[in-house]
Structures are given as structure tokens and as C-alpha cells.
């Protein structure tokens, strides 16, 4: 089947490339460690390389064969590639935001003798504590496109996007009304690798569901009201007391931090008049952990939406007339 679109999810630490056929059918995907902060270097550098050249080389190495086979293949990208440290800074779209309008705000990056790259804008939420996202808006667009196709119209949703910086996005109709960010994944990595908590941990490569559940329950308990800055230390003290093995401590800490995140959102949701439908979108294993935490906190089983990024990239490209 011939290609219709080359779509990129270009983040800080990785580059995901999707070759999409007619109607957005996934033909091939690639995952490479060439995020915007880790671009492949040229073999010989006489002087500091221009930003565009470094990104162009990464693109060529990642999917140059796709472009060679079809030089007119349209290109679209989301994520940190549109940040100040990316290929071309793309202005944010303000809130509240209708995601279909992202198709009219694409940043066009010319490429010498080749089809241009079109970068999707992120979202900015102004206020006392401003908030931003780049890349997640495309996942949300993919979720809405999928639900609209399946059910005829999008509903009142709370879309959770677990990751290094998790996002909880409130959607009404086809409009993003509010979102919250949690540095859960990054804090977990820092505590595990650069704090005293990591000194007694020994990973086994397998998930300890019991230890994870205990962490979630601790976050949801009376002791959890003191917050993660207090309860995180129990990862160490439970080990010292012989109640938590070294191989179980990482999953306990994961459950503890995710539990605090979900508990914080639960306290907000219970003050609202109507409970939105919760959708999980992201890495399958991580979404399973969040689903477990939501269950412990008393929520109904959330809907899980895989492959939202490529669907969102296709949807926005289609609205923009690229595909």
C-alpha cells in the first residue's frame, strides 16, 4: 500500500516516526533515541552545526528511505520539535482551545529541495501558575477523532496522559477547557536514581503488583494526607523494618507517587457537579498502573485508547489538507 503521510512524534528524548497509508492506516513505525536533546552528530564538525542541519540529518537517518521512495510525501510533526530548543519554535495556542483549529496554526519549515515539515502548535494555559503542553494536544485530538468516529460525538471527558510529565485534560465537546500537569514520572526517576531511596532497591525486571498496590493504598490512606514528601520516605523505612523487600521497593514507590497523583485529581473531581468519563492514553503498561490506582480510589474502569498519537497526527494533517 502506498504512503499518504509521514508523521513524527518528536520529543525531548526520542523520535517516533509513522508511515501512514490512506485513511491513516499504519503501515510502519520506528522508535529512535534521537529526541531534540540527543540528535545524532555529524562525523566531522569543523564548526558548530546549524540547528536545522542537525534535525535534517536525524530525519534522514530515521526515515530517509521512506522519503526517497516518495519525495512528495507530506510531513507533519508534534512535540518538543516545536519548542524553543526544537527545529522551529511554534507559538502556543491559547486556552480554551478547539483542537480542530490546530490545523490552521501549523508552522511550516522549508527544507531545501524537499517537501516542508509542518509542526503542530502546543497549548498554553495562562493564570497564576501557567501550564503548557507540546505533543499531548495531538494525542487528545486522536482520542476525540476516534470517539467521534465510534460514537458520533465526543463526550465530557477527562483524558489522562501518563508519562514523564503526566497530563489530565478536561474536554467538553471538542474543546479543551483545562489541564493539569504532574511531574510523577520524572520525580520517580530522580528518587530512584539520585536519592537515598534508590540505595536499597534491586530491580528484577518484573512488575510486583502487590507492592504497587500497597503504594497506592498508602497514598489513599490517612497517612497519605501528609503528601508524597512525607510518605516517600516509607519506601526506605518499610525496607529497614523488613516489611518490603529490595526487589519490591521500586514498584511500591511507583504506586505511592501515582497514587498521590490520582488522589489529588480525585479531590478535585469530587467537587464537580458531574463526573466526566475518564480515558487513559499512552504506554500500555503505564496505563494499566493508572487504571489500578483509579480502581483503588473508587473510580469506574477507564476507557483505554491506544495509538492516539498517530490518529491525532493524521486527523490534523487531514484537516490541513496535507493528507
pLDDT tens, N- to C-terminus, the chain (323 residues):
799 999 999 999 999 999 999 999 999 999 999 999 999 887 655 455 577 899 999 999 999 999 999 999 999 999 999 999 999 999 999 999 999 999 999 999 999 889 999 999 999 999 999 999 999 999 999 999 998 765 555 678 999 999 999 999 999 988 999 999 999 999 999 999 999 999 999 877 899 999 999 999 999 999 999 999 999 999 999 999 999 999 999 999 999 999 999 999 999 888 776 788 999 999 999 999 999 999 999 998 999 998 899 999 999 999 999 99
- Other Cβ atoms within 10 Å of 25 Cβ, number: 12
Which among 290, 196, 190, 261 has a CA at the least distance from the CA of 235? 196
Instruction: Give me 111's grid cell.
Output: 527544507
Domains within the chain, CATH numbers bracketed: 182-304 (3.30.420.310)
**pLDDT the model gives residue 151:** 57
The per-residue pLDDT for 173 is 84
Taking alpha carbons only, the member of 305, 306, 323 closest to residue 315 is 323
The pTM is what? 0.92
The rounded distance, in Å, linking the Cα atoms of 274 and 294 is 17
Place of cell 507533519: 76
Helix (H, G, I), strand (E, B) or coil at 10: strand
Q: What is the pLDDT of residue 44?
A: 56
What was the pLDDT predicted at 150? 59
> Residue 205: what pLDDT?
82
Torsion of CA 295, 299, 300, 305, to 10 degrees: -80
Give the pLDDT of residue 43.
62
3-class DSSP assignment, residue 182: strand
Amino acid at each position: 500500500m502506498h504512503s499518504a503521510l509521514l508523521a513524527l512524534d518528536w520529543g525531548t528524548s526520542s523520535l517516533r516516526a509513522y508511515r501512514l497509508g490512506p485513511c491513516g492506516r499504519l503501515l510502519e513505525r520506528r522508535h529512535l533515541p534521537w529526541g531534540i536533546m540527543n540528535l545524532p552528530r555529524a562525523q566531522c564538525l569543523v564548526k558548530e552545526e546549524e540547528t536545522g542541519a542537525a534535525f535534517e540529518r536525524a530525519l534522514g537517518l530515521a526515515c530517509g528511505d521512506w522519503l526517497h521512495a516518495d519525495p512528495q510525501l507530506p510531513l507533519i510533526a508534534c512535540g518538543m520539535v516545536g519548542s524553543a530548543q526544537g527545529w522551529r519554535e511554534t507559538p502556543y495556542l491559547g486556552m480554551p482551545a478547539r483542537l480542530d483549529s490546530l490545523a490552521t496554526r501549523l508552522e511550516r519549515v522549508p527544507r531545501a529541495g524537499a517537501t516542508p515539515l509542518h509542526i503542530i502548535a502546543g497549548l498554553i494555559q495562562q493564570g497564576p501558575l501557567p501550564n503548557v503542553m507540546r505533543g499531548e494536544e495531538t494525542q487528545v485530538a486522536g482520542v476525540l477523532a476516534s470517539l467521534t468516529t465510534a460514537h458520533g460525538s465526543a463526550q465530557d471527558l477527562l483524558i489522562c496522559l501518563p508519562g514523564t510529565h503526566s497530563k489530565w485534560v478536561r474536554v467538553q465537546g471538542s474543546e479543551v477547557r483545562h489541564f493539569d500537569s504532574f511531574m510523577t514520572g520524572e520525580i520517580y526517576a530522580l528518587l530512584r536514581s539520585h536519592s537515598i531511596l534508590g540505595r536499597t532497591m534491586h530491580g528484577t525486571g518484573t512488575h510486583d503488583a502487590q507492592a504497587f498496590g500497597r503504594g497506592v493504598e498508602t497514598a489513599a490512606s490517612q497517612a497519605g494526607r501528609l503528601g508524597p514528601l512525607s510518605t516517600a520516605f516509607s519506601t526506605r523505612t518499610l525496607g529497614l523494618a523488613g516489611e518490603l523487600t529490595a526487589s519490591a521497593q521500586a514498584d511500591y514507590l511507583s504506586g505511592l507517587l501515582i497514587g498521590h497523583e490520582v488522589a489529588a485529581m480525585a479531590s478535585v473531581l469530587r467537587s464537580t457537579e458531574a463526573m466526566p468519563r475518564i480515558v487513559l492514553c499512552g504506554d500500555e503498561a503505564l496505563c494499566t498502573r493508572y487504571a489500578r490506582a483509579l480502581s483503588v480510589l473508587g473510580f469506574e474502569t477507564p476507557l483505554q485508547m491506544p495509538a492516539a498519537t498517530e490518529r491525532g497526527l493524521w486527523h490534523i494533517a487531514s484537516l490541513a489538507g496535507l493528507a
